[in-house]
Structure 1
Amino acid sequence: MLNVLDLFSGAGGLTEGFRSESFNLLAHVEMDGDACQTLQLRDIFSYLKKVDQLDQYYSYITGKLTWAELVSVVPKEVYGRVVQATISENSIDEIIARLDVLVGDRKIDGIIGGPPCQAYSTVARSRNEAKKSEDERVYLYKFYVRFLEHFKPDFFVFENVKGLYSFKDVDGKKLLPKIKYDFSHIFNDGTENFDIDERLINSADFGVSQTRERIIIFGRRNKFRPIHFFESLDNLRERGPVLRQLFRDLPELNAGNTVNHYGSLQPIEFVKKYFRENDPPLTQNIARPNRDDDLEIYRIAVQKKMEGENLKYNQLPDRLVNHRAKDIFLDRFKALDGDGYSHTVVAHIAKDGHLYIHYDLNQNRSITVREAARIQSFPDNFYFEHSRTAAFRQIGNAVPPYLSKKFAFVISQFDKKLSNTI
């Protein structure tokens, strides 16, 4: 079993995929408190599953046990592997020291993670341009390099937004080539460096019901034979269910409602096997309340989508227009296509659901936390702490676990070769 560290963990999308392929997650580093408790809870889930006591976990996520009661039935080291910290120049030495204690004398085989991507996002870039030189998020990858230098893993997986392809450093040169250079020139003492490969990956090509493009950088110590990571990953391409199939077994509900029981329709086989493994209770199937004018706009957006179009804000009746600049940001409202995949789920979903309107006119609402989680390929037994807003934020920031599972599978197939030197 290979040992892995997860940096910039979020709710643990990468962790979930690697754990499902029997990797041993030794520790997580994450700054968000809500996400940290989600990570702790998932570590507890993994432990209780191994000891055949999932009823304790299900009692907690359905409100029958308190957090204190839950943690009392598991060893402290199970939920003590989460380091809550903001990775910075001031904190990195302390974080590494804490990780050293958690790791002990075990070898770190891999490091996974992706720094926060807001600095590279094309959406936020214009307003951040003036303060680029002062934005520490631009250079978070350098701390990732520091972890690689200290723990000397055999491989790493680095994830970020595709805006990194065009992002320019303060000197006007593109940053991505610098990142790749730094990743491949970590060790200056004669030890082996990393061979680097990079590709833009669309989750929709690998079984996730969402169009989500992200840059993946894979590195492997060059003392090993190359494993052709992306070529092997290509063999795992598959088409996931369209949204109408993905949501088939979920109950109907309206804006502002919570319905935590499955509907009367049977799930498709993929959903039954992957999302509903171990027969979990349905949780967090909660829809936001909305104002009447927003719900009217939602209906218009769904009707437009049924005609094969996306609603533009300047197409709305004047009585429904609340923003003065009606010809700017025309995609303020967007309905999902029940017979297709979702567009990218991002953290903005924590603020409102206007870009994720349910395709069913009869329900007339934005998607629930559980529906967003399914779009991101989180299984139904995955629970997000604490609030609805926090859950949406964690979901939007995550790497889809089903995609991560395929990364882990490719690496696991070459486990036997990790000791074969050139």
Structure 2
Amino acid sequence: ETIENKITLKDAIGDLQYSEIPAKEKNYTNGENCKIPNHEYMIGGFSSMYMSRNRVRSWDEVSFTIQAGGRHAPIHPQAPKMKFIEQDKRIFVPKKEHLYRRLTVRECARIQTFPDNFIFYYDKIADGYKMIGNAVPVRLGRAIALQIKKDLGLNSKANDRPKAMWSQVEKMILAEEY
């Protein structure tokens, strides 16, 4: 998307509110108990390094980068911006602590443009975050693949390459269901 067409958190995950569930003890997955697949978030404390910066973006902002680890997942935009105490130290707004939770695995997947029907399988929620954070965002991958296809001349009707070789790749590249 261009800067003018930025996708805000509201656009990406606004319809997922109020159906998330916390991880089981020791951050094990809830599996099929999630009403929406992978719509669960990691529980537990936050490191001093994590708390040294504001980790909350508003609904009308774009997300922070999705990292490959649940301990570093951004905070859900329902929470107010963290309160600045001093350099490298912030706290959750007093009496609003209950609003601070990490984004769910599904919310992170949405931000990375994974389709909702793409289900991630894992036992520990940290592994779900890791898969998403290490992945190339789906729409970015598609844009790159289409450019490579164009650069290789695969759009040409005079192409003498074996069509069978490219049919599977082409189906994936041209799929609009993401």
Instruction: Give TM class, smaller chain.
Output: 0.5 to 0.7
Identity of paired residues, percent?
Answer: 27
CA distances 1:314-366 after superposition (whole Å, capped 9, x unpaired) = xxxxxxxx75xxxx77745511332111121121x23x14x500010374311
Aligned partners of 2:155, 2:42: CA distance in 1, in Å?
Answer: 49
Q: Is the 8 A contact 1:254 1:364 kept in 2?
A: no
Aligned partners of 2:63, 2:42: CA distance in 1, in Å?
Answer: 19
Q: 1:258-297 counterparts in 2 under 5 A?
A: 260-261=34-35, 282-291=36-45
The aligned amino acid for 2:155 is: K
Any gaps of 5 or more consecutive residues in structure 1? 1-205, 208-236, 262-281, 295-321
Residue among 364, 377, 389 paired with 2:126? 389
Aligned pair count?
A: 130
Residue among 382, 395, 401 paired with 2:138? 401
Aligned partners of 2:42, 2:57: CA distance in 1, in Å?
Answer: 16
Q: 1:23-422 counterparts in 2 under 5 A?
A: 206=1, 239-253=5-19, 256=22, 260-261=34-35, 282-291=36-45, 331=52, 334-347=55-68, 349-350=69-70, 352-353=71-72, 355-361=73-79, 363-387=99-123, 388-413=125-150, 414-417=153-156, 419=159
Change (3 A) 1:329 1:386: closer
The alignment's TM-score, normalised by the length of structure 1, stands at: 0.27
CA distances 1:152-209 after superposition (whole Å, capped 9, x unpaired) = xxxxxxxxxxxxxxxxxxxxxxxxxxxxxxxxxxxxxxxxxxxxxxxxxxxxxx37xx
Aligned partners of 2:44, 2:135: CA distance in 1, in Å?
Answer: 26
Q: Is the 8 A contact 1:256 1:290 kept in 2?
A: no
Aligned partners of 2:4, 2:121: CA distance in 1, in Å?
Answer: 31
Aligned partners of 1:248, 1:396: CA distance in 2, in Å?
Answer: 20
**Which one has a larger percent strand, Structure 1 or Structure 2?**
1
The alignment's TM-score, normalised by the length of structure 2, stands at: 0.59
Q: Larger C-alpha radius of gyration, 1 or 2?
A: 1
Q: Which residue does the alignment assign to 2:84?
A: none
Q: Larger relative CO (CA 8 A, sep 6+): 1 or 2? A: 2
Q: Is the 8 A contact 2:108 2:132 kept in 1?
A: yes
Change (3 A) 1:248 1:384: same
Deviation above 6 Å: which 4+ runs of structure 1?
none
CA distances 1:360-401 after superposition (whole Å, capped 9, x unpaired) = 037431100000101111111111222222111110101001
Change (3 A) 1:288 1:408: same
